[in-house]
Amino acid sequence: MPTVAELEREFPGAPVRALLSHLAREGAAESIDGERYAAQGALAEFRSALETALAELGSATPAELRDRFGLTRKYLIPLLEWADRRGVTRRRGDARVLVRLTAGKGGS
């Protein structure tokens, strides 16, 4: 999940930001934090995996979720903050807890 700036460096001269904005408007992608975008399908998979993990564990720290999902903090933290903003999870101290189960409802 590279940032817009990383993609612009990778593809100089390409209208990266415009393309990502278009994909978001069309519902194919979603902005995670203004600088990162992810495909709706990937977000739905992450949401489902996160809900499963938190339903099992009750709560989990980013370190526990990092180990479970095999993601680095660079990518995990923006996804967890996205889930918080979506009302799927809530931060409680250092951990995340499940607010509501939404499996099967896509990334948005």
| Helix locations, 1-108, DSSP H | 4-10, 16-25, 40-57, 62-69, 73-85
Please report, rounded to a whole number, the percentage of residues in the chain having pLDDT higher than 90.
89
- Which token pair is 21? 């904005």
Query: Given pLDDT bands bounded at 50, 70 and 90, which one contains residue 1?
Result: confident
Structural domains of the chain sorted by starting position, each given as residue range(s) with its CATH number in brackets: 4-98 (1.10.10.10)
Residue-level pLDDT at 98: 96
Q: How far apart are alpha carbons 88 and 104 in whole angstroms?
A: 13
pLDDT at residue 108 tops 70: no
Q: What is the pLDDT of residues 52-85, one digit of tens each?
A: 999 999 999 999 999 999 999 999 999 999 999 9
Residue-level pLDDT at 101: 60
- Crossing angle for the helix pair 73-85 and 62-69, to the nearest 10 degrees: 110
Residue-level pLDDT at 106: 47
